[in-house]
Amino acid sequence: MRIDVVSIFPDYLAPLELSLVGKARTSGILSLHVHDLRDWTTDRHRTVDDTPFGGGAGMVMRPDVWGTALDDVLQDGAHLLVPTPSGTPLTQRTAEELAGEQQLVIACGRYEGIDARVAEHYRGHPGVRVSEFSIGDYVLNGGEVAALVLIEAVARLLPGVVGNPHSLVEESHGAAGLLEYPVYTKPPQWQGHDVPEVLLSGHHGRIERWRRDQALERTAARRPDLVERLDPDALDRHDLVVLAAHGWVPQGGRLVRAVDGAPEV
């Protein structure tokens, strides 16, 4: 896979030399190129922004500078990604889809964002896909950190990047739609906290059940939005008992919060 990042702070992307992503680059699995947007400016001051039409606070990035940069960097079949707090939430499913692309081009905006005509223009390009994405409901100063997040989420799914592909199977936000169970290692006793007995039992069936219960309990406690998306038909009776203890019951093919008292008529 090839990834190009365009930013006015290319040094912000330096961590991509490290760890698994860095190794994926040196091993040739990932071809990653970071570009300075100002290389495409033509004026003495290397200007990339201007005041917003219609007024308001802050500055907007100019479409002409972005256009020449993206025309140079986008290859046929590219997926153009624009990090923005007003984008579609990035999920594990998005990362899985993007891991199958030939080229990702990430256009990192700063200030109040990039002139909206840039995304509109490339949406009209045959052979280019455009996605505006967000990494959560909070505001960053620019898209660089979001680009790092996206690249790490995608790169670890490329074949050969994560040493043990089993690590990718049971983790949080996997196909089961549950958060991951808690994990423990040696020593078995630490600061008065014991490793749960069942994990030392060597009883694989009981361990598997305990881990699933923990995953269900964590998900119920922390992420009710994920419980709402579970398919009750894909759960076993024990799963339903655990969820019922947290106030969730199946109704009409989905899980809903049990309420005490008679339903209103």
Smallest separation, CB 9 to ligand 6GU (Å): 12
Q: Residues in the site for ligand 6GU, rule: CB under 6 A?
A: 83-85, 87, 133-136, 138-140, 142-143, 146
Smallest separation, CB 199 to ligand 6GU (Å): 37
Smallest separation, CB 82 to ligand 6GU (Å): 8
Question: 3-state DSSP call for residue 120?
Answer: helix
The DSSP annotation for 37-86 comes to GGGG--STT---EEPPTT--SS-EE-HHHHHHHHHHHPPTTEEEEEEEEE
> Closer to ligand 6GU at the Cβ: 70 or 227?
70
| Residue with token string 């930013």 | 7
> Closer to ligand 6GU at the Cβ: 93 or 238?
93
Q: What is the DSSP letter of 110?
A: B
Alpha-carbon distance of 254 to 240, in angstroms, equals 12
| Residue with token string 């992307």 | 13
Smallest separation, CB 137 to ligand 6GU (Å): 7
> Closer to ligand 6GU at the Cβ: 146 or 215?
146
Q: Confirm if 117 and 130 have CB atoms less than 8 A apart.
A: no
> Closer to ligand 6GU at the Cβ: 90 or 242?
90
> Closer to ligand 6GU at the Cβ: 137 or 233?
137
Smallest separation, CB 253 to ligand 6GU (Å): 33
**19 Rama class: left (phi>0) / alpha (psi -120 to 50) / beta:** left
